[in-house]
Amino acid sequence: MTTSNVLISEVGPRDGLQNCSGIMPTEDKKRWISALAAAGVKEIEVGSFVSPKLLPQMADTDEIVRHAVQIPGLEVAVLVPNLKGAQLAIAAGAHKITLPLSVSETHSLRNIRRTHDQVIDEAKAIANLIAEQSDGKRPHFEGSLSTAFGCTLEGPIDEQVILKSAERLMAAGCDEVGLSDTTGYGDPASMRHLIRAVRRVVGDENLTGVHLHNTRGLGLANVMAAYEEGITTFDSSLGGLGGCPTAPGASGNVVTEDLVFMFESMGVDTGIDLEALMATRDIVSAALPGEELYGFTPRAGLPLGFKGAPVPAAAE
């Protein structure tokens, strides 16, 4: 069942920047995040609490979170690899925490240096930490099923491993699980199949979001397949920035500008002002000279008279 509105979760300041060779200055990050929020983006993954030795692009995440949580109406999300990261995220005031469990254990060991069992132990510890927080200070806790559609290190992943991982994350205390096509292996048929399979074991209400990459040009096709399965939250990155440094060959995310244009053209409300969104590309271009930004919509421009189609009336 499809809905008349969706949530676009901008991951450029985290997933996008972690794969860039340059480091965006902190003040430019703040300007970018504030501009995205002003354009109507309601959720932004602003960084990750990881070692700056591994990802120097994320060294200022604490300061960035503390800035972002001051923006009215913005849901501030972060990625954490372990309990220590969650402690830092909660101290900074993050509203949402995502813990990645790569269903490819080879990738998990390379990405966050944890086996599946160790990730589940971290999930339990994080859930307990969240439960200890006072009302109003408990962040939403998502367990991300990374490399769910295939891995550049292991290839296809046994579906039973994926389903068991989803069950274990929920049992460990996650509020929901998300599906991540980290390497861009997914296609519309596999997207539909895996969403249905995971929902059978965790419940429809516990899988509402997907994180998709556009490695082979199927990003928007996969979005449509997920949307038609009732998924309502879609991660994307301005200019298609991003990729996974520990997954060889994994390239950028679905382009936020193209994603918003597609939904608005269909009469599906994103709440985002496309022209204001595209203007934020200037901030990124100036802060990261030489970094290529992708997207068909920014290059072609909006169609003459485009305002976003009204939501179609229900058929009688």
Which residues are part of the catalytic machinery? 244
Q: Which H or E run contains 178? A: strand 176-181
Residue 142, token pair as written in the block:
């998502």
Residues 6+ apart with CB under 8 A from 38: 276
d(C-alpha 88, C-alpha 126), whole Å: 11
In degrees to the nearest 10, what's the CA dihedral of 138, 166, 12, 25? 60
Say which DSSP state 277 is in: H
In degrees to the nearest 10, what's the CA dihedral of 90, 183, 282, 262? -100
159-172 vs 116-132: helix axis angle to the nearest 10?
20
d(C-alpha 169, C-alpha 121), whole Å: 10
Residues 6+ apart with CB under 8 A from 29: 13, 17, 46, 60, 64, 287
The DSSP secondary structure of 9-34, one letter per residue, reads EE-IIIIIHHT-SS---HHHHHHHHH
38 three-class SS = helix
